[in-house]
Chain A
Amino acid sequence: MTRRIYTGLAWLFLLLLAVYFLFPIYMAIVNSFKTQSELYKSVLSWPKSLSFDNYTQAFKKANMMRSGLNTIIVTATGIFGIVLCSSLAGYKLSRTRGKLSNVLFMLFVASMLIPFQTIMVTLTKMAKDLGLQGSPFGLGVVCAGLGVNMAIFLYHGFVKGIPRELDESAHMDGCGEWRAFFKIIFPLLLPITFTIVVLNMLWLWNDFLLPVLLLNDFRDYTLVLTINMFFGKYSREWSLILASLILSSIPIVVIFSIFQRWIIQGITDGAVKG
């Protein structure tokens, strides 16, 4: 009997929490299909007709094409830089014994404790001095710099599980060190690379504060910045804003639904090993 009460309570809790979690998303979707006057008359009702007007308007007015492209540039540059630099460093640091290797690794790991907030002011100035301010590509490079430490940590741990004999046999076959890395080692690092790509994609795609500090012209804005600007500009036209919110979330939600299993795996691994 008590067991059944517990099961009932468990379901009740889960359903209540599910309502809490879905509520804002549901409300945003429903109201994004209403016309402005319809929304003001009744927020809670279903839309009278299914019209995509708000969406086409939001797409044009919020310059989604341009900002979407900028976001892709930032994300791709950042991820490419992080994966390339950290896999090289993480692999070699893990394989080399000795003081130098240990010290370098500790330096990278220790820096994971630096909060972004502590360096943001000087980092912005540094980016400006290097001419990386004001371009999505430059932002991607800066992000790569901020992301290498954690990726090195994850690669370092993963490489320990790959037998050393592989390096040696490649060496025997007359493969140079660099060729051996890209031909033989890197393909074996794909599982952890996937984790690193997922974690960084979520960060880069959705980041706000660093892009705000580094991008000044609205033509360079990422999706999140564009939405932020759009929100300020059309603050009373909720139906339009909601459509822009939904629209800008679609890419990441689609990617998530396709790769859900691996993403969840990646996030758990990243957190537990990080």
Chain B
Amino acid sequence: MTRRSARAAFSLLLFVLPAFILYLIFLVIPMFQGSYYSFTNWDGLNKTYGFVGFSNFAEAFREDSHFRSAILFTAKYVICAVVLQNAVALLLAMLIESRRRAKGLFRTIFFMPNMLSVIISTFMWVFVFSKVIPALSEYSALKFLDVSWLGNPTVSFWTIMIVSVWGGVGTLMLIYMSAIQGIPQHLKEAAIIDGAQPYHMLRYITLPLIAHALTICIFLTLNSSFKVYDLVYALTGGGPGRGTQVITMNILEEAYQGNYRYGYASAKAIILFLIIFVITMIQVTVMKKREVEA
């Protein structure tokens, strides 16, 4: 190495050092520690613990019915959230972009929930479901609203979905809007001259040309919905019973609420990481291939 390149490398390291130290301490080391502890029976306090191989992973899949049902519930949530959030966001983006007036107003309205803390806005929804809707259902025309929105796991799933779509579409809508604005005007005009109906426009012009936005948005929603916590915590607390418990909640319960099985909780956390990693990698690879250039 010449003196010059050695000096360049040294100055590179100096500039990167502060960020690298933070990154090492708060991301890399915890990640490695977590992977390591997932093979032990550490309880978080004791200095001594044993190496248990894959038995934590085996237990999580074979014996832990709470964890299994949390995975199933989360999977159901992910599928519905990804589909509904993207469908509503795309619909909103197209509706707003096709308006000439009040674009900014509508954009602000639909983006508003993203400004608020999930905990705080979900408490507003708790008020709506526990006080406002019961009051509405006293009118005979709205009798069908008289269900146990937060007390029955089957209904609660859809309650969670209502709030999830409400809070999740804002950012996606903005991304779709900017993608739609990027569609060349001449393509739209040519399609209209050729007599394309709105459905054809969507199928053959809009969707193919915003494919990159679809890739990003589906990646974002997959990521965020596998990790969902705040919303379910504030709305149902995972209840009734464990009826709406999501994976994150199950991990926290294992690590802190009475159990203190850090090693086992770490194993579950690694499982969550692997699930998200594999699924998003497949999604991005498959969808990248299908994108086209305008």
State how many angstroms separate the Cβ of B252 from the closest Cβ of chain A. Answer: 8
The yes or no answer to A195 lying at the interface (CB within 8 A) is no
Question: Which of B18, B28, B117, B270 contacts A111, CB < 8 Å?
Answer: B28
Is B166 in contact with A20, judged by CB distance below 8 angstroms? yes
| Whole-angstrom CA separation of A91 from B12 in the bound complex | 10
B28 & A115 in contact (Cβ 8 Å cutoff): no
B218-234 interface mask toward A, CB cutoff 8 Å, 1 = contact, 0 = none? 00100100110110011
Contact indicator A88/B251 (Cβ below 8 Å) = no
Given contact pairs A224-B120, A271-B220, A115 touches B272 in the complex (Cβ within 8 A): yes
Which of A22-30, A46-54, A186-194 contacts the other chain?
Answer: A22-30
B174 touches A (CB below 8 Å): yes
Question: Which of B58-66, B92-100, B146-154 faces chain A?
Answer: B92-100
B269 contacts A238, C-beta separation under 8 Å: no
Pair B95/A14 contact, Cβ less than 8 Å: yes
- A66 within 8 Å of B (CB atoms): no
Known contacts A20-B166, A206-B118, A117 near B178 by CB under 8 Å: no
Q: When the two chains form their complex, are residues B22 and A231 in contact, meaning their CB atoms are under 8 A apart? A: no
Please give, as numbers and ranges, the residues of chain A lying within 8 Å of B117 by CB-CB distance. 205-208, 223-224, 227, 248-249
Is B183's beta carbon under 8 Å from chain A?
no
B111 contacts the other chain (Cβ, under 8 Å)?
A: yes
Given known contacts A22-B109, A122-B266, A111 and B23 CB-to-CB distance under 8 angstroms: yes
Docked complex: A1-41 residues within 8 A CB-CB of B: 2, 6, 10, 13-14, 17-18, 20-25, 27-28, 31, 39
How long is the Cα–Cα vector from A177 to B15 in the complex, in angstroms? Answer: 10
The answer to whether the Cβ of A166 comes within 8 Å of any Cβ in the partner chain is: no
B20 interface residue per 8 A CB criterion: yes
Which residues of chain A have C-beta atoms less than 8 A from B118's C-beta?
206, 208
B158 within 8 A of A: no
> B residues within 8 A CB of A177?
11
Min CB distance, A72 to chain B, in Å? 15
Alpha-carbon gap, A38 to B15, bound state (A): 61
Interface residues on A, range: 35 or more
Minimal beta-carbon separation of B257 from chain A (angstroms) = 12
Complex Cα gap A238–B178 (Å): 40
Q: A92-B15, A119-B31, A121-B34 are in contact. Are A268 and B114 (CB under 8 A)?
A: no
Quick check: A6 and B198 within 8 Å, CB to CB? Answer: yes
Name which of B78-86, B126-134, B285-293 contacts chain A. Answer: B126-134
Residues on A with C-beta less than 8 A from B23 are 107-108, 111, 145, 148-149
Instruction: Find chain B residues with CB under 8 A from A85 CB.
Output: 18-19, 22
User: Residues 5-17 of chain B: 1 if any A CB is under 8 Å from the residue's CB, otherwise 0?
Assistant: 1001101100110
Q: Is B209 an interface residue (CB 8 A)?
A: no
Asked if residues A21 and B113 are in contact (CB atoms below 8 Å), the reply is: yes
Q: Which residues of A contact B111 (CB under 8 A)?
A: 264
Interface check B37, CB cutoff 8 A: yes
Q: How far is the CB of B54 from chain A (nearest CB, A)?
A: 18
Which residues of B sit under 8 angstroms from A120, Cβ to Cβ?
Answer: 251-252, 269
Nearest 9 A/B pairs, CB to CB: A145-B26, A92-B15, A206-B117, A85-B19, A89-B19, A122-B30, A145-B22, A119-B30, A118-B273
Beyond A86-B19, A88-B16, 19 extra complex contacts between A and B, CB < 8 Å: A21-B166, A27-B127, A42-B135, A85-B18, A88-B18, A88-B19, A89-B15, A92-B15, A115-B227, A115-B272, A117-B251, A130-B25, A142-B26, A207-B117, A224-B119, A224-B120, A249-B115, A271-B175, A272-B178
